[in-house]
Chains A and B, each alone.
Chain A
Amino acid sequence: MEHVSFEVERGTTLAILGGSGSGKSTLLRYLIGLEQPQAGRIDIHGVGEPHRYHGVPSFGVLFQSGALFSSLTLEQNLALPLTTWTPIRGATARRLCQAKLELVGLGPFAGHLPGEISGGMKKRAGIARALILEPDLLFFDEPSAGLDPITAVELDQLIVTLSRDLGITVVIVTHELPSIFLVAGSCIVLDKTAKGIVARGDPKTLRDESTIPFVHNFFSRSSPGVPAGQRV
């Protein structure tokens, strides 16, 4: 990956798109500080390189599987970062965790273990955990992967609602076309042959107007049995 440069406006949602091997997930790992790029610079809130694993994370991340700790209840999963990074304990911590779980529709499941809830619920709980430290930036890695279409749309709508109501900036890695059009205000398209960004802008505009073959094919993907080029 060589030619990647982009900015995300506060309060907006950016989707990182691309085919398999285009570097979407690698770029996300750079952005959240799990890996360091060999060259280049990442500024979050204008603070410089994201060496964030030695202090309070300034953003939340929803991993593809939800990445909840299976030995902890949902409430304990949320309480872990809260009690690690803040002096909040006891009843106040429980109230904050409960409120976040309620926010994503999981209030009654606070005492459940991740193994006892469905895949969609795990992702909702993952979002609640990502929100617990009140970040103003959230990263999502393929949030609707492995979910049925209805649950995927519900999750996308939750992301839109949270982003709008909480004023959070969202960066989402996905290749699900319905998610892209529902969630993203803008997007960048990565291509492995170009080793970087080949297009950027509003997804609907790119779909309708892009003349770049890769971008055109990406947005013109069709289900089996549907003639190629028919729009989703």
Chain B
Amino acid sequence: MRLQSENGGVDIRADTDGDRARLAPGGSFDLAHAASVALAIERMPPSLERCRSIDVDLANLNHFDGAGAVLLAQLIDRLEANGHRTRIVEHTNPEAARLIDLYRGRLVNPHTAEARARTPLARIGAAAAKLPDTLSDAFDFAGRCAVAVPKAAAAPHSVDWRALTGLVQEIGADGVVVTGAANLLVGLIIGLLGISQLARFGAVTYVPELVVVAQFRELGPLVTAIVVAGRTGAGLASELATMKVSEEVDALRAMGFDPLRWLVVPRCVALVAVMPLLTWIGDVLAILGGFAATMAVTDMTARAYIEGTISAITAGHLLGGLVKTPFLGLAIGLIACGQGLAAQGGAAAVGARTTRAVVLAILGVIVANTLFTFVFTLLGI
């Protein structure tokens, strides 16, 4: 009986005689026709399953290369795995027979296929299973950083203090334009929002106080921290991740340096020192934003606005905001450095860790700010 599986210029002819069969692939079994070859193999007649002995005759092949050899080799492997006895008729095309032999016994690794076929639910499960380890790593890093601080104090030479001025410049002076602009606009928004709401009760005179309280206590530290988390957090994480994947961190360790003291401590110190300054400058600019909004859309005089602002500024409002900024800076530093030092692999790991650092740092400062506000409210500050 003669059966044929044909597709796109390639065909596999099967002549069966009782429990014997002769397979004759014909046409171009090469890379250019690999998709057609795969389809022709898939469409092999099921009656072939009944044959115990199968001869593969390569005489009709026009073009043949490694891709055709891979697919034919895997077909033969599959037939043998299903209990068929196969034989390649070598003398008709010894070159093709040799190539097929090269690829025989190289079946797809089932573990790889399994990993690839993970469902979204399985991925969620895998991520959940990793959560305890992730938390444990985070606490471990925080603990090691806490230990590094007294060690750094005891051995100041183990910290790269020379980098501190550069870091302050980079995080503070270079970042002040962005944080300042963000705070100026936030002040403007608070002013406009206050005017639109308070004007309904004839209470526009309270706009300066609203700007001061909202900005000084909450939005100033928060907006500054979010901008710093995005800007500096990304920079620190990618810098340390690059150092990690290029084995610079290993080199530091090998030379006897503690990377936490040498790299993390100066970065965190710079952030802790700079954050209050950036926030304070942001507060001043936010007042200017509120002032500009009020002058633009209300009849309030500049003198009245300034007097209202001065009377609203109290040590409680100012310090209530500024006191938390070093902690927000510390959170950004620890998260960014932690993520950077956790990078493993190549360029992709640097990108992934940087993204993660920014997301976690922003989330971290929002959570930390919320906790501060909660505690201050409980304490009546």
Contacts and interface: CB of A to CB of B under 8 A. Distances in A.
A142 interface: no
Contacts of A1: none
Mostly, the B contact residues are: helix
Interface in A74-129: 75, 86-89, 91-92, 94-96, 98-100, 102-103, 107-108, 110-111, 113-116
A172 interface: no
A231 B345 CA distance: 41
B346 interface: yes
Nearest to A89: B35
A35 interface: no
A107 B35 contact: no
Contacts of A98: 106, 108-109, 112
Contact of B347 (A70, A75, A116): A70
A40 B269 CA distance: 61
B175 interface: no
A95 B66 contact: no
B281 interface: no
Contacts of B345: 70, 113-116
B347 A86 contact: no
B116 A95 contact: no
Contact of B346 (A88, A94, A103, A115): A115
Contacts of A107: 106, 109
A115 B344 contact: yes
B249 to A, nearest CB: 14
Interface string B97-131: 01100110010110111011000000000000000
B250 to A, nearest CB: 14
B109 A88 contact: no
A96 B70 contact: yes
A133 interface: yes
Interface residues of A, number: 32
B108 A95 contact: yes
A70 B66 contact: no
Contacts of B67: 88, 96, 134
Contacts of A94: 108, 113, 116
Interface string A187-230: 00000000000000000000000000000000000000000000
Nearest to A99: B70
A71 interface: yes
A186 B104 CA distance: 32
A113 B351 CA distance: 14
B71 A110 contact: no
Nearest to A85: B31
A131 interface: yes
B115 A96 contact: no
A114 B346 contact: yes
A70 B351 CA distance: 11
Interface of B: 30-32, 34-35, 38, 65-67, 70-71, 73-74, 95, 98-99, 102-103, 106, 108-109, 111-113, 115-116, 245, 344-349, 351
Kindly list the 9 A-B residue pairs having the minimum CB-CB distance in the complex, ordered from nearest.
A70-B346, A115-B345, A71-B348, A102-B106, A99-B70, A92-B38, A115-B346, A134-B65, A110-B112
Given A88-B35, A95-B108, A115-B348, 17 more contacts: A70-B345, A70-B348, A71-B351, A86-B31, A86-B32, A87-B35, A94-B113, A95-B71, A99-B103, A99-B106, A100-B66, A107-B106, A107-B109, A108-B109, A111-B112, A113-B348, A133-B31
